[in-house]
Amino acid sequence: MTALFHRIPRRILAGALLAVGAAALLASCDLGGEVVSPRPPVVAQVVITSHADTVLATVASSVQFTAEAREAGGAPIANATIQWSSSAVNVAPVDATGRAVALTVGITEIRARSGSIQSAAVVLRVQPTRPVVASVSITGPMQVNVGSMAAFTAVARDAGGAPIAGAVFAWSSSNTNVASVNANGVATGLAPGSTDIRATSESIESPPSMLTVVAPVPSFAADIQPILHPTCTATNCHGGSFPQEGLDLRPASAYGQLVNRPSSQLPALLRVEPGNADNSYFYRKLLPCNPPNCGGSRMPRNLPPLPVAQIDLVRDWILGGAPP
């Protein structure tokens, strides 16, 4: 064999050897070389993406959950296998697609897993099936004073007219400058005027209930007596041992001397007729006193007339029923 190689020209032999080496190298790359392929992504986190931490459902309803497997850097892993579980399958089992069916009232935790990595739990609370609200009605007062409160109540009913226990209501006032209403249906009078109060449950709105807000009726003790004493009593005009016209306006006797008592100067009129200011002789005496409206001089005698605001207060007190 050695003699044979000696007989082959060197140039041909070198070419042959080069060709053989190249073929062997090529064969090594195509057949014997290692094929490098990308490593599969590693699951570092599983996240339930479809819901918040707590989900509410009713018996016989279903909830569809979705989950996502992610790498350590947060990138989602496509086509990752997800397995689902429920901690209380008697309350709500979950199938391979992530659909949970509520069977009974209770609480269960829904989790998703990919390989050995498990998601945080989503709490599924199953509540009793509630009737559908068909109508809402409200009751409450028709009038309230400025600064006072008025409580309204609401009832939700199903299609058969039966009340729905535990119904939740949202309250509203059509004019919040006149009266506001809180989440419990308590309205507060803010300014004279009218507003419509309504309650809504599950998008069903009640008919309006009109609430009229009025200025509070003055009381005699708090609002009227301070005008009369000492203005009308300091000079003994309507005080002391011999008050004019027998009208004693000192605090101990003033109310009883005025309300539903005939006037001495014009007996056809009461000094104060509750609800009727124009026919109350006491009110007429605070205005320019011209016959036949009243006799004698305007009150307070020999002093400037009362401010308009005080005269209006007396009128409002009489119109409001002349309360003590």
Domains of the chain (ranges, CATH numbers): 45-127 (2.60.40.1080), 135-214 (2.60.40.1080), 217-324 (no CATH)
Indicate the range of 48-57, 234-243, 272-281, 283-292 predicted with least confidence.
Answer: 234-243
pLDDT in tens, 71-115: 999 999 999 999 999 999 999 999 999 999 999 999 999 999 999
pLDDT at residue 6 is higher than 70: no
Per residue in 161-197, pLDDT (tens digit) is 999 988 999 999 999 999 999 999 999 999 999 999 9
Check residue 243 and give its pLDDT.
Answer: 81
Residues 212-232: what's their mean pLDDT?
Answer: 89
Q: Count of alpha carbons within 13 Å of 127, Cβ hemisphere only?
A: 8
Least confident range from 72-86, 161-175, 204-218, 294-308: namely 294-308
Return the SS3 of 208. Answer: coil
Its pTM stands at: 0.48
Among 63-77, 196-210, 226-240, name the one with the lowest average pLDDT: 226-240
Q: Is the pLDDT of residue 3 over 90?
A: no
Q: In Å, what is the CA distance from 257 to each residue of 61, 65, 225, 252, 283?
A: 74, 80, 12, 10, 14
Give the pLDDT confidence score for residue 235 in this predicted structure.
Answer: 64
Model confidence band, residue 17 (pLDDT cutoffs 50, 70, 90): very low
HSE of 64, CA atoms in CB hemisphere, 13 A: 1
